[in-house]
């Protein structure tokens, strides 16, 4: 069972065009408050968690197919060099094959992690991360209730506390304007990473280091 | 009236009073914040948090003639983050980072309930018995 969750404070109207294009046969949910982001530490999109039949996490949150190749995108035309597109395709295929392997073989799949490994790969939020979520929740409520000026300071505080939580940063930008999440403020934050990754490594055979 | 944002959702709490760093909620309204005051302390489901001895007045007090409970003091005791509006009319109280980290490391997938485009609510726990691939995305 696939469940997609849209981290969309803009709600159903923001998510609808994309969901209708995709015509999913699975639940496509809308998460206005970024609840799932907070619960599962999804600091970015797309990130995915694998959950077994007993409700246990067998792969904690990791980027699902996406990687830092997009950083070389032409920022006006959004074009990506062909070799980057090819690598994107390769990574997506590896990830999908791993999913299929899990569906077929269940706990026997090499991609299913032991409880110890799940625990080891779970970073756990810091106190600053937890505070960032509280500031974000407050900011979102204020913005939704006609208090955008007040919201601004709390969004800024959330971003300051958790600068590499891109779900928070980009959603906060969206409240400034719909284009802002892909605009200059976003790109300068990405550039400020330098050699650091935007997407965490995916520790899967065929992708990043195990 | 104070609006409280927490993992229980959004609650409008009548009679709540903000004094400095304290958020005094009438005990009669405490259930709206997800808590009950019992002899064992502040309780939510199976969890009870004892009120520290010698500090009862920091937690429970008569405020404007109403027996009230200081939710901020409880949050502080439990290391929960609190964000408040400048006007003091909206409070967001989150889960303590250590609690969340411990729960996630325990490996049980936290439940949630969210709507689809038609407004129908889906819970993760509805899918028990199936493998779930839970994936995030956004238009931004």
Per-residue model confidence as pLDDT tens for chain A (210 residues): 999 999 999 999 999 999 999 999 999 999 999 999 999 999 999 999 999 999 999 999 999 988 999 999 888 888 999 999 999 999 999 999 999 999 999 999 999 999 999 999 998 899 999 999 999 999 999 999 999 999 999 999 999 999 999 999 999 999 999 999 999 999 999 999 999 999 999 999 999 987
Q: What is the structure's pLDDT at A123?
A: 87
Using alpha carbons only, what angle is made at residue A51 by residues A46 and A56, rounded to the nearest 5 degrees? Answer: 135
β-pair partners for A62: A48
Nearest Cα residue in chain B from A50: B133
Mean pLDDT score, B114-131: 97
**Mind listing the pLDDT tens digit for each residue in B27-53?**
999 999 999 999 999 999 889 999 998
What ipTM does this complex have? 0.95
**CB-nearest partner of B5 from A38, A48, A138:** A138
Q: What is the pLDDT of residue B46?
A: 87
pLDDT value of residue B77: 95
- Secondary structure E strands in chain A: 2-6, 28-30, 47-51, 57-63
pLDDT-derived band at B11, boundaries 50, 70, 90: very high
Nearest by CB: B134 against A14, A51, A102: A51
User: In this complex, is the C-beta atom of B76 within 8 Å of any C-beta atom belonging to chain A?
Assistant: no
pLDDT at B2: 96
Scan residues 31-70 of B and list those with Cβ closer than 8 Å to A.
none
Interface contact A42-B140, CB threshold 8 A: no
Omega prior to A46 cis, within 30 of 0: yes
What is the pLDDT at residue A99?
97
d(Cα A18, Cα A26) in Å, to the nearest integer? 14
Chain B positions in Cβ-Cβ contact with residue A154 (cut-off 8 Å): 83, 85
* B80 interaction partners in chain A (CB closer than 8 Å): 130
Question: Which of B10, B97, B137 is facing A46, going by the closest CB pair?
Answer: B137
Does A36 sit within 8 Å of B134, measured CB to CB? yes
Would the pLDDT of B10 be above 90?
Answer: yes
- The helix/strand/coil state of B24 is strand
Q: Shortest CA distance to B42 belongs to which of B88, B92, B76, B86?
A: B76
Nearest chain B Cα to A26, which residue? B116
Chain B residues in contact with A115 by the CB 8 A cut-off are: 107
* pLDDT on residue B45: 87
Predicted model pTM: 0.94
CB pairs under 8 A between A and B: 205
């Amino acid at each position: 069972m696939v469940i997609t969750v849209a981290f969309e404070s803009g709600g159903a109207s923001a998510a609808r065009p994309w969901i209708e294009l995709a015509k999913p046969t699975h639940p496509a949910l809308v998460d206005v408050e970024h609840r799932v982001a907070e619960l599962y530490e999804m600091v970015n999109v797309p990130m995915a968690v694998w959950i077994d039949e007993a409700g246990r996490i067998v792969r904690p949150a990791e980027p699902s197919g996406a990687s830092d190749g997009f950083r070389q995108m032409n920022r006006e035309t959004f074009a990506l060099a062909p070799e980057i597109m090819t690598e994107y395709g390769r990574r997506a295929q590896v990830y999908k094959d791993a999913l299929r392997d899990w569906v077929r073989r269940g706990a026997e799949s090499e991609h299913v992690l032991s409880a110890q490994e799940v625990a080891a790969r779970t970073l756990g939020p810091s106190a600053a991360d937890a505070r960032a979520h509280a500031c974000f929740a407050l900011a979102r409520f204020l913005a939704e209730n006609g208090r955008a000026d007040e919201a601004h300071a709390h969004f800024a505080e959330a971003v300051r506390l958790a600068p590499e939580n891109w779900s928070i940063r980009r959603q906060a930008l969206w409240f400034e304007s719909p284009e802002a999440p892909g605009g200059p403020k976003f790109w300068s934050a990405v550039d400020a990473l330098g050699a650091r990754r935007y997407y965490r490594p995916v520790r899967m055979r065929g992708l990043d280091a195990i | 009236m104070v609006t409280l944002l927490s993992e229980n959702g959004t609650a409008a709490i009548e009679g709540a009073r903000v004094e400095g760093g304290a958020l005094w909620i009438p005990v009669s309204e405490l259930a709206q914040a997800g808590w009950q005051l019992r002899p064992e302390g502040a309780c939510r489901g199976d969890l009870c948090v004892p009120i520290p001895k010698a500090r009862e007045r920091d937690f429970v007090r008569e405020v404007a003639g109403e027996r009230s409970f200081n939710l901020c003091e409880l949050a502080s005791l439990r290391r929960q983050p609190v964000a408040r509006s400048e006007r003091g009319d909206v409070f967001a109280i989150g889960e303590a980072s250590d609690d969340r980290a411990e729960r996630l490391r325990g490996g049980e997938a936290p439940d949630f309930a969210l709507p689809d485009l038609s407004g129908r609510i889906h819970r993760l726990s509805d899918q028990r018995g199936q493998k779930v691939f839970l994936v995030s995305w956004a238009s931004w």
